[in-house]
């Protein structure tokens, strides 16, 4: 296995582990627990479920893996903070979206070669990529894994 392939596989494995940890928590929480705030006056756990789902869904076009599955989630979970009065989808619907988005992403990750992971992502221009080739698809995967882990930590603390 080449070092590029090995590096990509390590990153995908980290993603998978973070998704599995978050999935375990999200699937085990009651609706009441999902209404808990991370800290007083801060995001509720249900908001973080929707937020992470929307952010992961946005990875499809950024990575060149196709169209988003649920772009409608952005208005509620990305563009607006929690508790702005927006009608949230039902818990079971959000859980279904979470599983759907992350399952499809993981299967799509396997369609990219190690060299493709090191190519530019589609939220930047060719010119910008030429200036900084570290801003590639793999960097997106790593940053989204870190983002998910950050919120996973918040969730864990909120449940203590």
| pTM of the shown model | 0.96
**Triad 138, 142, 147: Cα angle to 5°:** 145
d(CA 93, CA 91) in angstroms, rounded, equals: 5
pLDDT tens, residue by residue, 55-78: 999 999 999 999 999 999 999 999
Q: Do 92 and 138 touch, CB atoms closer than 8 A?
A: no
pLDDT at position 1, please? 77
34: number of Cβ within 10 Å: 19
In tens, the pLDDT along 29-53 reads 999 999 999 999 999 999 999 999 9
Residue 116, phi then psi, degrees to nearest 5: -65, -35
**Which CATH superfamily does the domain covering 3-158 fall into?**
dinb family like domain (1.20.120.450)
Determine the average pLDDT of the residues in 101-126.
97
| CA-to-CA dists, residue 64 to 15, 42, 79, 92, 136, angstroms | 18, 34, 23, 29, 11
The angle subtended at Cα 101 by Cα 96 and Cα 103, nearest 5°, is: 95
């Amino acid at each position: 296995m080449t070092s590029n392939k090995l590096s990509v596989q390590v990153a995908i494995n980290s993603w998978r582990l973070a998704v599995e940890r978050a999935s375990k928590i999200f699937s085990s929480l009651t609706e009441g627990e999902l209404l808990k705030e991370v800290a007083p006056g801060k995001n509720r756990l249900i908001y973080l479920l929707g937020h992470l789902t929307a952010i992961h869904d946005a990875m499809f076009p950024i990575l060149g893996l196709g169209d988003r599955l649920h772009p409608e989630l952005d208005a509620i979970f990305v563009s607006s903070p929690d508790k702005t009065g927006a009608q949230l989808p039902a818990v079971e619907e959000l859980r279904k979206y979470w599983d759907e988005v992350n399952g499809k992403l993981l299967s799509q990750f396997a369609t990219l070669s190690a060299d493709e992971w090191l190519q530019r992502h589609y939220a930047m221009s060719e010119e910008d990529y030429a200036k900084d080739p570290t801003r590639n698809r793999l960097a997106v995967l790593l940053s989204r894994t870190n983002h998910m882990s950050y919120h996973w930590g918040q969730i864990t603390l909120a449940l203590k």
